A and B are shown apart, each in its own frame.
Chain A
Amino acid sequence: AQTVTQSQPEMSVQEAETVTLSCTYDTSESDYYLFWYKQPPSRQMILVIRQEAYKQQNATENRFSVNFQKAAKSFSLKISDSQLGDAAMYFCAAWGGGADGLTFGKGTHLIIQP
């Protein structure tokens, strides 16, 4: 079983600047996976980035990157060169790799100021 905590209910950033969203987790699994999902007002769940816990290298996807600190159980998302289209709810999620589903945090509402 996993728990995921997102301590920032809302974040605001100026367009073109960089913002970091925080996430901490707890798990009893030795192998697990971590994800960031974006949920725009359309309520679609869009995968932003994923990280396998056994990989030391932090995942990157274009303007999105993570800072994965395994010992600290921290998994933050950095968005560089923020764009208006990045405005959304962002959910951190953990998965133990078995048949059951994802465990989500409560989300961070990201506001992009033009």
Chain B
Amino acid sequence: NAGVTQTPKFRILKIGQSMTLQCTQDMNHNYMYWYRQDPGMGLKLIYYSVGAGITDKGEVPNGYNVSRSTTEDFPLRLELAAPSQTSVYFCASRGTKPYSNQPQHFGDGTRLSIL
């Protein structure tokens, strides 16, 4: 049981390039999340999804896009990379009940540098 898997673990991009951060979970969770963690800060929510085909913006969505075509996958797309997007990105998932104490399961993160 792999849990939440993120790829790649590290990436360096040039300004203006695009890339997709991959996230997949094998726990059949409905809820999936993308967070970013800037140096010395806590995690901030970028986008989330409550199921296949349904996504919504979090606190810091500008510059990102997401899609959710399957229950398992929730990729995050950066279209025009900017230095302000240098951060560590975490994907997380949670079970099927909307109001419960089910914790979020986190991937190991992707460290992204924009130069």
A residues bordering B, Cβ < 8 Å?
A: 4, 31, 33, 35, 42-45, 47, 50, 52, 91, 93, 97-107
Contact = CB atoms under 8 A, between A and B. Distances in A.
Interface of B: 31, 33, 35, 40-45, 48, 50, 56, 58, 88, 90, 92, 98-101, 103-104, 106, 108-109, 111
B31 A50 contact: no
B33, B45, B98, B103: residue with the most chain A Cβ atoms closer than 10 Å: B103
Contacts of B101: 33, 50, 52
Contacts, number: 59
A100 B48 contact: yes
Majority SS of interface residues in chain A? Answer: loop
A44 B50 contact: no
A38 to B, nearest CB: 11
A100 B41 CA distance: 20
